[in-house]
Amino acid sequence: MIITLKDGSQKEYDAPRSIRDIARDISEGLMRAAVAGDVDGEIKDIRTLIDTDCTLNIITANDPEGLKVLRHTASHVLAEAVKNLYPNAKLAIGPAIADGFYYDFEAEPFSREDLDEIEKEMKKIIKKGAKLNKFTLPREEAIKFMEDRNEPYKVELIKDLPEGAEISFYEQGDFVDLCAGPHLSSVKNIKAFKLISSSMAYWRGNENNARLQRIYGTAFANKEDLEAHLAHLEDIKMRDHNKLGREMEIFTTVDVIGQGLPLILPNGVKMVQKLQRWIEDLEDKEWGYVRTKTPLMAKSDLYKISGHWDHYKDGMFVLGDEEKDKEVFALRPMTCPFQYYVYKNTQKSYRDLPYRMGETSTLFRKEDSGEMHGLTRVRQFTISEGHNVIRPDQVEEELQNCLELAMYVLKTLGLQDDVTYRLSKWDPENKEKYLGDNEYWETTQEVLREVLQRNNVQFVEADGEAAFYGPKVDIQAKNVYGKEDTMITIQLDCAIAENFDMYFIDQNGDKVRPYIIHRTSLGCYERTLAWLIEKYAGKFPVWLCPEQVRILPISEKYEEYAEKVRKELARAGVDVTADNRSEKIGFKIREAQNKKVPYMLIVGANEESDGLVSVRTRSGGDKGQMKLEEFIAKISEEIRTKTTQEP
């Protein structure tokens, strides 16, 4: 048999060889580092015998797939440790994931102290150095094997497999787990690992199933990589908007109000207010939008016309019962059907289009309780929503305008490099979920594709992510934990105008159906706020800060001058406060820095006598003395230009 290696060279053997033996034949060092093999594109256990021609790449723990094997084995060690310490715990599943691994157990919740004890037990197991051996059993024997071990979740998994299947297991000493592998040859090869946290999880991700306890961990090929990752996790904790946003008094949540219904606190309101005023002025004054204000709810009749009642009812908060009540209402999950009637209020000609309607819209969506997270996934939220009613010949130009506006907003916020683009298409295997036929979807998807390509935008395509009425461009971003959400969306809809009898009068006096672009320029304000908190770790650009300047008088003798400075800054439109507490100036400075206030102005005798301020920044920089009017001009320019540079 001929083995073709990664570099194109070949090895020829006259008898079957294990991947480990082939690695040894290449070099002793590679054999010691090898954890698995990529055989014709499939990752195989290092002990797998190869008996036919193939391509082979030896995988080490420094390779992504090798790291996955290492972490998968670490999850088995975790499971063994938990069973040793908590014999009544039941095993569920334990895969490797992007940054580590986890294992789910039916058990009591685990504390941090419990995780520390489990870590110690894992180290004992690793020190013993048991080898991992794979064996298989027929399906019925496998079921009995796990029933005898009183592992009901494993039994359920096996029963889901086809009749006649051979079921594979891995054993390490006395511990055995249901698993397809691959795994390390020995647990002693786990050199660097850490248990990170624990949380509740549902069996198979279904909230109607049993509640389990999930332990998250991570593992790396060496301690240096582990330490770097743990440092990264600490940085994530410092940036997590769910933690930092509360500490900075931007938002909070209250159990009696409800999950997914955050209270935006004064600091957060100030930031949202600045964003909202900017976006509304930008859309109305520079991009030709008219502003609308529509109701927060409507009768079910409206949603039946739009199609949302059939396609989206489960995601809506419905008020009333169709079988009992004369009228049933629902809180709006989107603004489009309301704005269509703004368009229809007066007859439009081809000269009136595009007709761009913008609204700062508060919406309601019935998210699952398990999806709630801080400000990124909520049940009530506000977006910079808009609907552009256009002639068919205006499609490409108007899509281009919407994309340019979105890109401008991202650039101004300093977020342009933190996003990815997705062309969200229909699912042709489930046509009943959508309006329109194959030709409609292929045509509209191609229009969006061409706009992205014309702008040299790198994008991915995703089936099944379109709205029911048309494809869309979704601008995606990840939070600090790597979870991706949609931030801005641009949707092309060539179908729904028919439902609402929308039309314009063309050059010939005929009625013509318009097309509609559903779009956001900023997206959801709450989600954007979370994104900004994590992006800047709370050190927001000056123009966005709820408190831009704090004046620090050295003593109470200079409070009058501090007040004069405050008034001058306030008149210039700066968000400014004065700290007149009887505290030492060093304490005041540290507190202002901890609150991430961009500028601190220290005032005393010299400053008062000469009309000066001593300027410090939150990064600890002492900028020296400056004329008050000079500082006002400087910060006013930063606010006007919306610079993202740290002061």
**Cβ atoms 510, 216 nearer than 8 A:** no
Q: pLDDT at position 163, please? A: 87
HSE (CB half, 13 Å, CA atoms) of 249?
8
Q: Which residue has the tokens 């994104």?
A: 531
HSE (CB half, 13 Å, CA atoms) of 460?
7
Q: pLDDT at position 11, please? A: 87
Q: pLDDT at position 48, please? A: 87
Q: pLDDT at position 307, please? A: 87
Q: pLDDT at position 110, please? A: 96
**Cβ atoms 37, 43 nearer than 8 A:** yes
Convert 494-549 into a string of H (helix), E (strand) and C (coil).
CCHHHCCCCCEECCCCCEECCEEEEEEEEEEHHHHHHHHHHHHCCCCCHHHCCCCE
Q: pLDDT at position 482, please? A: 85
Q: Which residue has the tokens 């079957």?
A: 16
**Exposed e or buried b for every residue in 22-47, given b needs 16+ CB within 10 A?**
bbbeeeeeebebbbbbbbeeebbbbb
**Cβ atoms 369, 261 nearer than 8 A:** no
Tally of residues, the chain: 647
The H or E element that residue 599 is part of is: strand 599-603
Q: Is 372 helix (H, G, I), strand (E, B) or coil?
A: coil
Cα–Cα dist 145/328, whole Å? 55
**Exposed e or buried b for every residue in 67-106, given b needs 16+ CB within 10 A?**
bbbbbbbbbbbbbbbbbbebeebbbbbbebeeebbbbbbb
Residues 6+ apart with CB under 8 A from 387: 335, 336, 339, 340, 343, 356, 357, 516, 517, 518, 519
Q: If you write DSSP's letter for every residue of 109-151 in order, what string do you get?
A: PPPHHHHHHHHHHHHHHHHHTPBEEEEEEEHHHHHHHHHHTT-
Cα–Cα dist 483/474, whole Å? 15
Cα–Cα dist 423/453, whole Å? 11
Cα–Cα dist 203/211, whole Å? 6
Q: pLDDT at position 469, please? A: 87
Kind of pairing between the strands at 132-138 and 251-252: unpaired
**Cβ atoms 607, 613 nearer than 8 A:** yes
The list of the chain residues with pLDDT below 70 reads: none
Q: pLDDT at position 440, please? A: 92
Cα–Cα dist 129/123, whole Å? 10
HSE (CB half, 13 Å, CA atoms) of 324?
3
HSE (CB half, 13 Å, CA atoms) of 340?
23
Cα–Cα dist 202/336, whole Å? 36
Q: Quote the tokens at residue 207.
A: 């909230």
Q: Is 152 helix (H, G, I), strand (E, B) or coil?
A: helix
pTM of the full structure: 0.82
Q: Tally Cβ neighbours within 10 Å of residue 475.
A: 24
Q: pLDDT at position 205, please? A: 84
DSSP state of 41: T
* pLDDT tens, residue by residue, 472-485: 999 999 998 888 99
Q: Is 590 helix (H, G, I), strand (E, B) or coil?
A: helix
Q: Which residues pair with 384 in a beta bridge?
A: 360
**Cβ atoms 50, 1 nearer than 8 A:** yes
The H or E element that residue 227 is part of is: helix 223-239
Single out the residue of 628, 531, 646 nearest to residue 245, CA to CA.
531
Single out the residue of 558, 607, 608 nearest to residue 578, CA to CA.
558
